Amino acid sequence: MNAYSVSLDFTKPSLFTRITLSSQIPLTMATTVNKTVRVAAAQMTSVNDLMTNFATCSRLVQEAALAGAKLICFPENFSFVGDKEGESVKIAEPLDGPVMERYCSLARDSNIWLSLGGFQERFDDTHLCNTHVVIDDAGMIRDTYQKMHLFDVDVPGGSSYKESSFTVPGTKIVSVDSPVGRLGLTVCYDLRFPKIYQQLRFEQKAQVLLVPSAFTKVTGEAHWEILLRARAIETQCYVIAAAQAGKHNEKRESYGDTLIIDPWGTVVGRLPDRVSTGIVVADIDFSLIDSVRTKMPIDKQRVSIDL
């Protein structure tokens, strides 16, 4: 049986208004139904209102649960995108605060795992941590990862960003077991640094790499898909990249294009509209992971190079 992806367009009032099935895996990498599990990745345009964003996330969670997903991944800054300088630090909370408690309840009530990438976790009065939180279907936080690579960049033809001015970088690489495989946790700008993904794959045995993001329009157009496919190919992992999309306010716009990519580098899940709010659904096929890794055993062929 060929693997397939399911793309759902929820930008119109009716549920499941668009379902696309596509056979995208070579026949030599055939799948078996009993070795697959369904995942979902969300695309949204977060604003500077916690409850508005929670309402959007709640709707998308219900859609993912109805589609049979065991995990739904949300983008960086899912709960809040500031309109003014300092807003994100002002609203930052500890992991046991009311914002995260709402999402834990949402996971429990919906019986689904949540990947919440880029939560504003309070550090002190002037700084936060950009924290990727994984919650299980019982509403318990299974693990967290704090973004290591901070976005201090002058975007060509665009704006300047200095995430380090208000964010404390993490120091620990994190993976966690889940019903959809062993997850490797990263956030957005980490995508440009392959070593973290190599360590997740070869040292921590990740099967699925999560890359919740809020890429700028300029950098997304240039590099988004090619970087994601490269990480999938070089690690032989699935990559789930939930993305912020569209204009958040007058000053900030995100590229969008939420993607799910298989270990062969094939895009198996993509929303029909790059900037719409909705979810994309695809199946994680463990037999495909095994097949790719067996036929091209790069874990055994790697050579240590000291420069």
Q: Which residue out of 63, 76, 121, 253 is catalytically annotated?
A: 76
Q: Which of 57, 70, 147, 237 is catalytic?
A: 147
Residue 277: name the closest of 37, 51, 74, 67 by CA.
74
Q: Residue 244 in contact with residue 76, Cβ under 8 Å?
A: yes
The active-site residue out of 57, 188, 237, 253 is 188
Q: What are phi and psi of 160, to 5 degrees?
A: -105, 145
CA distance 62 to 82: 26
Please indicate whether residue 76 is annotated as part of the active site: yes
Is position 63 annotated as part of the catalytic site? no
Active site residue 188: yes
One-letter identity of residue 110:
S
- Within 10 angstroms of residue 14's Cβ, the number of other Cβ atoms is 8
**Residues that are catalytic:** 76, 147, 188
